Chains A and B, each alone.
Chain A
Amino acid sequence: MSLTTRRDAGVTVEFRSVVKEFPGHRALDGVDLTLQPGEFVALLGPSGCGKTTALRVLAGLEDATSGSITIDGTDVSGLPANRRDIGMVFQSYSLFPHLTVLSNVEFGLRMRKVPKDERRTRALAALDMVGLGVQAERYAHQLSGGQQQRVALARALVTEPRVLLLDEPLSALDARVRVQLRDEIRRIQIDLGITTLFVTHDQEEALAVADRVAVMRAGTIEQIGAPEELYTRARTSFVAEFVGLSNRLDGEVDESGTVVVEGVRLPLIDTTTPLGPVSAYVRPEDVVFATEGIPAEVVSSSFLGSFRRTTVRLSSGALVRIQHGATAPAAVGDSVFLALTGAAVAVQQRA
Chain B
Amino acid sequence: MSGQAKAFRPEPSALTRWLILGIVGLVFLVPIIAMVEFTLRRGLEGGYDFSRWIAVFSGGLTGEYKGILTALGNSVVLAIVTVIVMLVILVPTMILVQLRFPYLRRAIEFLCLLPITIPAIVLVVGLAPVYSVVAKMFGSGVWTLSFAYGIIVLPFAYRAIQANLQAIDVITLSEAARSLGAGWLTVLLRVLLPNLRRGILSASFISVAVVLGEYTIAALLNRVNLQTALVIVSKSDPFVAVIFALLALVFAFLLLLAIGRVGAPRRKRSSTGASS
Chain B: which residue is nearest A96 at the CB level? B191
**A337 at the B interface (CB under 8 A):** no
B149-157, B165-173, B235-243 - interface stretch: B165-173
A155 touches B274 (CB 8 A): no
**B272 at the A interface (CB under 8 A):** yes
B186 touches A97 (CB 8 A): no
Chain B: which residue is nearest A155 at the CB level? B180
A98 touches B178 (CB 8 A): no
A112 and B175 CA atoms in complex are apart in Å by: 17
A102 and B169 CA atoms in complex are apart in Å by: 20
| Smallest CB separation, A99 vs chain B (Å) | 8
List, in ascending order, chain B residues with CB within 8 A of A238's CB: none
A97 touches B168 (CB 8 A): yes
A93 and B168 CA atoms in complex are apart in Å by: 11
| Smallest CB separation, B9 vs chain A (Å) | 14
A2-10, A84-92, A209-217, A277-285 - interface stretch: A84-92
| Chain A interface helix/strand/loop/mixed | mixed
Q: Chain A: interface residue count, which band?
A: 20 to 34
List, in ascending order, chain B residues with CB within 8 A of A350's CB: none
Total count of chain B residues near the partner, CB < 8 A: 21
> Which residues from 171 to 190 on chain B have a C-beta closer than 8 Å to any C-beta of chain A?
172-173, 175-183, 186
A108 touches B276 (CB 8 A): no
| Smallest CB separation, A79 vs chain B (Å) | 12
One of B169, B177, B179 near A87 (C-beta < 8 A):
B179
One of A92, A142, A156 near B172 (C-beta < 8 A):
A92
A92 touches B169 (CB 8 A): yes
30 cross-chain CB contacts under 8 A: A59-B175, A59-B179, A60-B178, A61-B175, A80-B178, A81-B175, A81-B178, A82-B179, A82-B180, A82-B181, A83-B181, A85-B181, A88-B175, A94-B169, A94-B176, A96-B195, A98-B195, A107-B177, A107-B180, A108-B180, A111-B180, A111-B186, A139-B272, A141-B276, A142-B272, A155-B176, A156-B179, A156-B180, A159-B180, A165-B179
